[in-house]
């Protein structure tokens, strides 16, 4: 069914809205990667069947929704119109929710957040601490939109921005709107989006391209992929608007082929958009032609670098080129190319739809809007959050993320995956914005936010980041190709307590060389974790190198575990947790650890509720030294 005009578009959207309005309730089952891995696909079927058994199929539709963000508590389910969120729903929960809530009208406490046999829990999604403080622009419609249905996107005003851009706005007006909004690329450099658009529009060329980069690549950062999985149509709409503004007729969405779900949803969305005539020839009855091709990319972290990404689309090894001439003038096949990442694109339709002033009202003045983050590591709530820019990191870590586990303290936060600097706890007041994060030695980038607590070793964390970077180095320039393995070897020897005098200075020197002399952003940013940690956590390096101890009790070669007999209650939790069977002791009597067979994994320390297990090297340990005899 082709939409031939703006009226067609509006009536179609109104029909979709009307259909939803007439329903008694809607059950949205989260179909994000996290919840699918926890079995939400099966739940979707079970819900459909249970609803059909009650004879309610007409009144209560069951739909899959984009990621609801609360991945750590999956599978999660949202029941509208009330907006009740259920966590950790299992098979038994399906029939109970249908019988007691949908039919009976009473939420099932067992599956509510914080709910249980005795606790009522929190029923409404908006009242759960995880969702407070979030502001949704890019993830708007989460829970209400089926990512695999174009009608569902249109019901949420989808494609109306494209309609507006095609009917009421000239290309200059579109670029003006982007300029006024102050939108900045949600990538590492925070380039002002309108500058790219303008220079691409001004560039001469027989044909132009628009490209969307969905290769998050960095461990712990999957904001782009989540946005693409949640609303592939928003990206398609945005790219069409961009193409209209710069005069392009072909677009490419570069998705890693491992992102099965994202690839499938993009392909499906492209097919639906073509069917509706929102891609192809004469879009919405205007003379505007535009189509998009999904490129199944190979995974390579270097593809975050735009020139490397372009090389990969052209079918060459992903090695960066000199970017003296920006890709907006000479990009794909030497043609002017407007390239942005998923999140940047996804901000475009709301800006066009609601106006620049509306967008500027959110977030910090220097870079308005929101940022999608994917917090992970040692925090209570893991998942996907979207917060206004400028929000202090502490508010994110202790707000939606729920802070560290019981008894633990936050030690550092690594923003933007392995290439990001480590921000120590005392600097958590840093706002989430390009300039302030850069000052702190980190980057905003793809939205990774890994939190480390006092049982994480900083040197080991940096070692793991550098290991990743050296694996992903493309090998083109020598500072990066030679420097990263050298840094890795140094870090490894420090972790093993084999550091020699001068190693720390040498490490720092290599890192500066990388920052100064690397060809592309990968090498330059690879120095971030080393430099920032040497600055803020130098004492940990010194402890490893000179005192041969790991202050976090992590590095196996430098750590011994000991149980304090006075604190130990003999509960046996550590004995059960030990994978090597190294903990001995009778019930209710003090336990002890046999050092010969201990694998130094720390499972006993994590299991202990009395804080009776100590690692040598930690600050608390010297007091217990007599235990070692």
Partner 1 sequence: MQDTLLEKHSVEEILARHMYEDFEIIEILQEIQRMEGYLSEKNLVLTSKRLRIPLSRVYGIATFYKNFTLVPRGKYTLQVCTGAGCLAKGGMKILDRLRNTLQVKVGGTTSDRMFNLETVRCVGCCGRAPVVVAAGKIVSGVDFGEILEAIENLRKRGRDEIAQPARS
When asked if residue 207 is in the footprint of partner 1 (CB under 8 A), the reply is no
b/e burial code for range 66-91 (CB count within 10 A of at least 16 → b): bbbbbbbbbbbbbbeeeebbbbbbee
When asked if residue 339 is in the footprint of partner 1 (CB under 8 A), the reply is no
In the bound state with partner 1, the residue whose beta carbon lies nearer, of 293 and 500, is 293
b/e burial code for range 15-41 (CB count within 10 A of at least 16 → b): ebeeebeeeebbbbbbbbbbbbebebe
Q: Convert residues 4-23 into a mask of x (bound to partner 1 by CB under 8 A) and - (unbound).
A: --------------------
Residues 558-587 interacting with partner 1 (rule: CB under 8 A): 579
When asked if residue 33 is in the footprint of partner 1 (CB under 8 A), the reply is yes
When asked if residue 257 is in the footprint of partner 1 (CB under 8 A), the reply is yes
Q: How far is CA 503 from CA 22, 491, 498, 545, 556, in A?
A: 70, 9, 10, 8, 20
Number of residues written out for the chain = 629
Question: Which ranges in 97-192 belong to alpha helices (H)?
Answer: 150-155, 160-167, 171-181
Binding range to partner 1, per CB under 8 A, among 165-173, 360-368, 378-386, 390-398: 378-386
Q: Which of 111, 468, 541, 561 binds partner 1 (CB under 8 A)?
A: 468
When asked if residue 72 is in the footprint of partner 1 (CB under 8 A), the reply is yes
In the bound state with partner 1, the residue whose beta carbon lies nearer, of 475 and 587, is 475
When asked if residue 374 is in the footprint of partner 1 (CB under 8 A), the reply is yes
Cα distance between residue 218 and residue 468, in whole Å: 9
When asked if residue 317 is in the footprint of partner 1 (CB under 8 A), the reply is yes
When asked if residue 74 is in the footprint of partner 1 (CB under 8 A), the reply is yes
Cα distance between residue 390 and residue 113, in whole Å: 28
DSSP state for residue 618 in the 8-state scheme: S
| The two three-digit tokens of residue 76, written as one number | 């999660």
Residues 436-455 interacting with partner 1 (rule: CB under 8 A): 450, 452
When asked if residue 601 is in the footprint of partner 1 (CB under 8 A), the reply is yes
In the bound state with partner 1, the residue whose beta carbon lies nearer, of 44 and 174, is 44
Cα distance between residue 146 and residue 416, in whole Å: 29
When asked if residue 338 is in the footprint of partner 1 (CB under 8 A), the reply is no
When asked if residue 260 is in the footprint of partner 1 (CB under 8 A), the reply is yes
Residues 303 and 30 sit within 8 Å (Cβ to Cβ)? no
In the bound state with partner 1, the residue whose beta carbon lies nearer, of 201 and 575, is 575
Residue showing tokens 């309610």: 56
Burial of 438 (0-12, 13-18, 19+ CB in 10 A): middle
In the bound state with partner 1, the residue whose beta carbon lies nearer, of 285 and 556, is 556
In the bound state with partner 1, the residue whose beta carbon lies nearer, of 398 and 452, is 452
Size, binding site for partner 1 by CB under 8 A: 55
Q: Which of 217, 210, 427 is nearest to 335 (CA)?
A: 210
Cα distance between residue 552 and residue 456, in whole Å: 6
Rounded-to-10 torsion of CA 511, 517, 519, 521:
40
Q: Which of 187, 190, 417, 447 binds partner 1 (CB under 8 A)?
A: 417
Binding range to partner 1, per CB under 8 A, among 29-37, 48-56, 140-148, 281-289: 29-37
For residue 280, is it left (φ>0), alpha (ψ between -120 and 50) or beta?
A: left
Binding range to partner 1, per CB under 8 A, among 181-189, 467-475, 518-526, 537-545: 467-475
Q: Which of 64, 143, 350, 383 binds partner 1 (CB under 8 A)?
A: 383
When asked if residue 414 is in the footprint of partner 1 (CB under 8 A), the reply is yes
In the bound state with partner 1, the residue whose beta carbon lies nearer, of 201 and 321, is 321
Residues 47 and 81 sit within 8 Å (Cβ to Cβ)? no
Q: Which of 211, 300, 427, 466 binds partner 1 (CB under 8 A)?
A: 300
When asked if residue 405 is in the footprint of partner 1 (CB under 8 A), the reply is no
Question: Which ranges in 333-411 belong to alpha helices (H)?
Answer: 342-354, 356-360, 393-398
Q: Which of 255, 318, 397, 612 binds partner 1 (CB under 8 A)?
A: 318
Q: Convert residues 216-255 into a mask of x (bound to partner 1 by CB under 8 A) and - (unbound).
A: x-xxxxx--xx-----------------------------
Give the residues lining the site for partner 1 (CB under 8 A). 33-34, 36-38, 71-72, 74, 216, 218-222, 225-226, 257-260, 295-300, 312-318, 374, 376-378, 382-384, 414, 417-418, 450, 452, 456, 461, 464-465, 468, 471, 474, 579, 601, 603
């Amino acid at each position: 069914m082709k939409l031939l005009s703006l009226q067609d578009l509006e009536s179609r959207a109104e029909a979709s809205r009307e259909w939803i309005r007439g329903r008694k309730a809607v059950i949205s089952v989260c179909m994000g990667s996290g919840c699918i891995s926890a079995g939400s696909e099966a739940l979707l079927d079970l819900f459909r069947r249970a609803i059909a058994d009650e004879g309610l199929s007409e009144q209560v539709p069951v739909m899959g929704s984009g990621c609801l963000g609360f991945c750590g508590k999956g599978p999660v389910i949202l029941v509208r119109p009330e907006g009740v969120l259920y966590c950790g729903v299992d098979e038994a929960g399906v029939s109970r929710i249908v019988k007691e809530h949908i039919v009976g009208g009473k939420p099932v406490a067992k599956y509510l957040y914080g709910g249980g046999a005795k606790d009522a829990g929190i029923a409404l999604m908006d009242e759960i601490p995880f969702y407070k403080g979030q502001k949704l622009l890019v993830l708007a419609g989460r829970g209400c939109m089926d990512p695999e249905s174009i009608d569902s996107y249109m019901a949420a005003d989808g494609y109306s921005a494209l309609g507006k851009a095609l009917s009421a706005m000239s290309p200059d007006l579109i670029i003006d709107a982007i300029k006024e909004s102050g939108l900045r690329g949600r990538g590492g450099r925070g380039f002002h989006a309108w500058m790219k658009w303008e220079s691409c529009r001004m560039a001469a060329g027989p044909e132009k391209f628009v490209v969307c980069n969905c290769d998050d690549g960095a461990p712990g950062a999957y904001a782009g992929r989540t946005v693409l999985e949640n609303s592939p149509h928003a990206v398609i709409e945005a790219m069409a608007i961009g193409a209209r503004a710069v005069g392009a007729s072909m677009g490419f969405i570069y998705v890693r082929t491992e992102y099965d779900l994202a690839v499938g949803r993009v392909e499906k969305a492209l097919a639906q958009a073509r069917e509706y005539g929102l891609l192809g020839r004469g879009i919405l009855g205007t003379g505007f032609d535009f189509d998009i091709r999904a490129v199944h990319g190979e995974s390579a972290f270097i593809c975050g670098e735009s020139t490397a990404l372009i090389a990969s689309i052209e079918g060459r090894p992903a090695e960066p080129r000199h970017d003296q001439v920006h890709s907006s003038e000479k990009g794909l096949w030497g043609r002017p190319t407007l390239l942005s990442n998923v999140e940047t694109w996804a901000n475009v339709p709301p800006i066009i739809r609601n106006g620049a002033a509306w967008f500027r009202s959110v977030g910090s003045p220097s870079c308005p809007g929101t940022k999608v983050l994917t917090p992970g590591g040692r925090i209570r709530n893991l998942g996907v959050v979207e917060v206004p820019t400028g929000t202090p990191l502490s508010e994110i870590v202790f707000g939606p993320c729920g802070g560290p586990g019981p008894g633990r303290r936050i030690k550092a936060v690594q923003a933007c995956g392995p290439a990001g600097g480590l921000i120590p706890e005392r600097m958590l007041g840093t706002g989430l914005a390009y300039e302030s994060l850069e000052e702190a030695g980190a980057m905003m980038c793809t939205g990774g936010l890994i939190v480390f607590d006092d049982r994480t070793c900083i040197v080991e964390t940096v070692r793991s980041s550098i290991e990743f970077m050296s694996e992903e180095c493309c090998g083109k320039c020598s500072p990066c190709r030679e420097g990263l393995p050298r840094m890795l070897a140094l870090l490894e020897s420090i972790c093993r307590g084999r550091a020699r005098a001068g190693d720390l200075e040498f490490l720092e020197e290599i890192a500066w060389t990388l920052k100064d002399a690397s060809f592309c952003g990968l090498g330059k940013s690879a120095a971030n974790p080393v430099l920032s940690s040497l600055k803020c956590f130098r004492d940990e390096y010194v402890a490893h190198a000179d005192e041969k101890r790991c202050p976090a009790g992590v590095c196996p070669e430098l750590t011994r575990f000991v149980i304090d007999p006075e604190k130990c209650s003999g509960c046996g939790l550590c004995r059960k947790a030990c994978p090597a069977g190294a903990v001995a002791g009778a019930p209710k009597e003090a336990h002890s650890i046999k050092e010969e067979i201990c694998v130094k994994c720390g499972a006993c320390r994590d299991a202990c509720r009395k804080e009776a297990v100590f690692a040598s090297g930690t600050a608390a340990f010297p007091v217990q030294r007599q235990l070692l005899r």
